[in-house]
């Protein structure tokens, strides 16, 4: 099952709970592939429907069995001992009680969880009706993880789904979260292939590793090339770390900002854009008809930098670039930039009239209401 499919399983679990019944999904998969992130993302979407919807993310490895019962206190009237439920157990409202790393918990913790899974209660505590329980583990059949055995009785109370890494979904996630353009470009190149723990060269590189690297770069991590090298190797290991570092510092993609600066220096003369050094460097990998090595991965970074500029993009630079790219990339870029405009349809019409040499390469059918284009090659 793909990581993104976790949301579908949570939808079903929620529908079951609304019917008054109970089902507890268990997501089993390698660390760092996004299981927890998708659960958090689903909860964020649910808050739009239920203002009081929330999430309790509990790491079972950090709890003891007695933590679930709470502290004992004496009921003076009855002469009996009762227990005060701990504050990490939800008391009201709607939400997800996420029990993460269940198989890193001790046997007493697992025993406490069993009662919660079936009866939705522990001693005198009862889980509110508006809450569902979701669990996750790392695979128990891998030597890469130090986990405990979940016995048959516990497993029988769960519905286990094996979650696998899927590159396309991961790349879409990275783009949606606006990761570092160079990280996205490298991931798009296919130079890195995900391998589960124990299958690689000793360094486990997960989606989480790339997210850490992206965060570092967005904070200026690439500015110091030597320090960036150390970070790449620390997160990605020697082989992939060096490959990525060389990709960033020795085969650097040309971004919109570089072209814009040079365009200003030539007094924004559109007829001289193709003479700019930045444009010539771009053509080496962006124009398949020019001498050089066409690099779709570098083109992706350039592409994204143009989209990020949005409404402030200079149309002359955009059209010069679009005029030399592969036709499918031209159509996609023009459409993406159009959707950044206040009136995409009017912008498309204006560009078509001013730059017919670009639009003659593509046939665009404009949906004036939605502001979208459907492009076909000649």
Contacts with 281 (C-beta within 8 Å, 6 or more apart), sequence order: 254
Return averaged pLDDT per consecutive 10 residues of the chain, 378 residues in all: 94 94 93 91 92 91 81 77 80 93 89 88 88 91 79 92 92 89 84 83 87 96 94 94 88 87 93 92 82 71 88 92 87 91 91 88 48 43
pLDDT for 200 equals: 65
Answer yes or no: CATH 3.10.180.10 is held by domain 3-162.
no
pTM (two decimals): 0.67
Domain-wise residue ranges, the chain: 3-162, 167-249, 256-377
pLDDT for 375 equals: 44
């Amino acid at each position: 099952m793909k990581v993104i499919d976790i949301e579908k399983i949570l939808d079903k679990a929620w529908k079951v709970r609304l019917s008054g019944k109970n089902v507890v999904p268990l997501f089993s998969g390698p660390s760092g592939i996004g299981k927890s992130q998708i659960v958090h993302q689903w909860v964020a979407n649910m808050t739009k429907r239920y203002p009081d919807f929330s999430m309790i993310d509990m790491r079972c490895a950090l709890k003891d069995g007695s933590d679930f019962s709470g502290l004992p206190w004496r009921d003076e009237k009855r002469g009996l001992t009762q227990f005060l439920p701990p504050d990490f157990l939800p008391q009201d409202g709607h939400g997800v009680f996420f029990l993460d790393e269940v198989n890193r918990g001790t046997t007493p913790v697992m025993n406490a969880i069993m009662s919660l899974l079936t009866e939705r209660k522990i001693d005198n505590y009862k889980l509110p009706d508006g809450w569902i329980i979701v669990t996750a583990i790392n695979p128990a059949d891998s030597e890469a993880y130090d986990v405990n055995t979940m016995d048959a009785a516990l497993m029988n109370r769960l519905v286990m789904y094996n979650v696998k890494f899927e590159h396309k979904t991961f790349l879409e996630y990275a783009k949606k979260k606006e990761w570092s353009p160079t990280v996205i470009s490298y991931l798009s190149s296919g130079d890195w292939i995900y391998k589960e723990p124990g299958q690689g060269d000793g360094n486990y590189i997960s989606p989480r590793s790339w997210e850490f690297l992206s965060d570092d770069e967005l904070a200026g991590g690439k500015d110091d090339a030597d320090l960036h090298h150390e970070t790449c190797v620390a997160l990605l290991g020697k082989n992939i770390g060096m490959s990525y570092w060389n990709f960033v510092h020795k085969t650097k993609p040309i971004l919109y900002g570089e072209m814009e600066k040079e365009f200003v220096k030539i007094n924004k003369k559109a007829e001289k854009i193709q003479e700019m050094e930045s444009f010539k460097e771009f053509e080496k990998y962006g124009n398949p008809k020019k001498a050089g090595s066409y690099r779709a991965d570098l083109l992706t970074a350039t592409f994204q930098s143009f989209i990020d500029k949005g409404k402030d993009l200079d149309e002359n630079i955009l059209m010069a670039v679009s005029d030399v790219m592969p036709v499918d990339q031209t159509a996609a870029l023009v459409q993406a930039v159009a959707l950044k405009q206040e009136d995409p349809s009017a912008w498309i019409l204006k560009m078509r009239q001013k730059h017919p040499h670009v639009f003659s390469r593509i046939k665009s059918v404009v949906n004036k209401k939605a502001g979208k284009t459907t492009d076909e090659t000649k």
